[in-house]
Chain A
Amino acid sequence: MKKILSLILIVTTVFSFVGCSKKADVNVKTKDILDDIKGEIAKDMKDKGVKEESLKDGKLPGFMDIDLTKEKNPFAEILNKEDIKEGYVLQQMMNVKSDLIIVLKAKDESKVKNLKASLEKIKKGQVNTWEKYLPDQYKKVQNNIIKTNGKYLVYITYDKPEKIEEIFNNALK
């Protein structure tokens, strides 16, 4: 009896250890996640009446993206390049709108905390820019989502942030 009991104990312990161990590291390019997100924004633009030919080949009129690993970028001060393996910013080129999406992959898990703090800082900056001007754009900032998943982080200020968050989650499944 005792043997069986101890066997069960051993088996369950082994299983619980297995349960704790991590699944294989996901390895998705942030550029691919960004492209999925851009596809979603393009869809929304089409629904709002933007012509299809101006959305061809992944183009998003009015938006620009910035590679955060590049030497000189305006986010260098706030998002430390040492912490980032890959990263992109998608934002309005010159429209007075608050949309801003950032996808990051940290160099390793220990950097995630730092990067998250930087994203919080960016949000504070957006609040500062918008709280006194254009209530509808400020509402988007208030609904902002910052999310981490393993080494990946996403920052979303957009009309429908949940939709973008879903894309981010699905990409890392």
Chain B
Amino acid sequence: MEKLANKMIVIVFIVFIFTINIFNILMPDKEFSESENRVLSQFPKFSIEKLTSGKFTSKFETYITDQFIFKDFWVGLKSDIERFSLKNENNGIYFGKDGYLLEDFTKSDEVLANNIKSINYFNKKLPDLTTYFLLAPNSVKIYEDKLPMFSKPYDQLKIIDRVKNNLNGKFIDVYDILKRKKDEYIYFKTDHHWTMRGAYYSYREFCKNIGLNPFDFNKFDKEIVSNSFYGTFYSKANNKHISADKIEIFKPKFKTSYKVHYLDEDKYTNTLYEFNHLDKKDKYSIFLDGNHSLITIKTDIKNNKKLVVFKDSYSHSFIPFLANHYEEIHVIDLRYYKLNIYDYIKENNIDEALFLYNVSTFSSDENLSWLRI
């Protein structure tokens, strides 16, 4: 009897090992993982030189791990077991209360100091230009009460205060208003962006600070355009049991007219939304078509006000509100636009500048050094 049991174990074991391997060889390789939102490694090219340098074997290893049979299932299983054993973080993402995924935040003094220096340099170089700076906190600060026990991300309020105290130019503080509105849906639960609602409250604060008259909440129709948005935090955290986000857009009830030009693709449109992205993974790109180096928006408001925005992607859901106040908005992303911005500002007779960043980008992105030319 015992012998039979041993035999069974041996047989099951051998069958398991062989079928997994046969499946691994037979199943076609995948190019892209939707759930993880990344390109998967392909079979590496072989050469003697690569073999001796060890590159081939290390690439082969990543190839095998990326293309392992039923990978999504195994990864999900691992993540579930970890959740079950009370692990509350994965890849720098905390599993917060009420379905909130929150990204750990660590400070970088050097980058932050450099970025403040860059903006002050810009300010000094263009004294006639009015410069505003809006620094948006991330969800990890606004929803700190939802963080799991014993997690200690660096306090973003300290960063905000430090920037406020060291920056020349007008600083627009949106922390208080966002904290007050935190019971509304102002940040995505599965993505690193704020929602258009969060952007709206910040827009009101911005207007109040610079003497503009913001449009009231009820001047917009709110429409849910997607119920199935899984953002970047979701991809990083890699757990299947997180519910999707909704995407809400604010449509003005009044008449508007925009001419939008995307320079890098030389594409013209007359809308601030690109709905085709709702069928893809990165649905936040509905706002201003995602990241571009330079976007110009011309409106039918004839007030001769021209604004340049230096920004990260938080601005994409914010700029649609500004578009109802300026004749021209030039949106520059310093991560991709490497030409001389001072020439650009001069050529286009721009008289106002807005820097809009979230705390996480502003303390890690080094591309603001392109201002120092």
- A-side interface residues toward B, CB under 8 Å? 64, 72-78, 91-96, 125, 128-129, 132-136, 138-139
Contact B372 A96, beta carbon cutoff 8 Å: no
Q: Which residue of A lies closest to B292 (CB)?
A: A96
Given A72-B373, A74-B370, A128-B365, also A94-B263 (CB < 8 A) = yes
The secondary structure that dominates the B interface is loop
Contact A95 B372, beta carbon cutoff 8 Å: no
Contact A129 B369, beta carbon cutoff 8 Å: no
Q: B37 to chain A: which residues have CB within 8 Å?
A: 135
Q: A134 to chain B: which residues have CB within 8 Å?
A: 291
Q: B294 to chain A: which residues have CB within 8 Å?
A: 94
Q: A74 to chain B: which residues have CB within 8 Å?
A: 338, 369-370, 372-373
In angstroms, how far is the closest chain B Cβ from the Cβ of A131?
A: 9
Q: Which residue of B lies closest to A75 (CB)?
A: B369
- B-side interface residues toward A, CB under 8 Å? 32, 37-39, 114, 192, 232, 263-264, 282, 290-294, 313, 335-339, 364-367, 369-370, 372-373
Q: A133 to chain B: which residues have CB within 8 Å?
A: 282, 290-291, 313
In angstroms, how far is the closest chain A Cβ from the Cβ of B305?
A: 25
Contact A135 B336, beta carbon cutoff 8 Å: no
A-B contact count (CB 8 A): 64
Q: Which residue of A lies closest to B47 (CB)?
A: A162
Q: A72 to chain B: which residues have CB within 8 Å?
A: 372-373
In angstroms, how far is the closest chain A Cβ from the Cβ of B77?
A: 24
Docked Cα-Cα span, A94 to B364, in Å, equals 21
Contact B38 A135, beta carbon cutoff 8 Å: yes
Among candidates A94, A125, A135, A136, residue contacting B337 with C-beta atoms closer than 8 Å? A94
Q: A75 to chain B: which residues have CB within 8 Å?
A: 369
Q: A78 to chain B: which residues have CB within 8 Å?
A: 366, 369
Docked Cα-Cα span, A74 to B338, in Å, equals 9
In angstroms, how far is the closest chain B Cβ from the Cβ of A98?
A: 10
Docked Cα-Cα span, A71 to B366, in Å, equals 19
Docked Cα-Cα span, A72 to B32, in Å, equals 41
Q: B192 to chain A: which residues have CB within 8 Å?
A: 132
Q: B39 to chain A: which residues have CB within 8 Å?
A: 135-136, 138-139
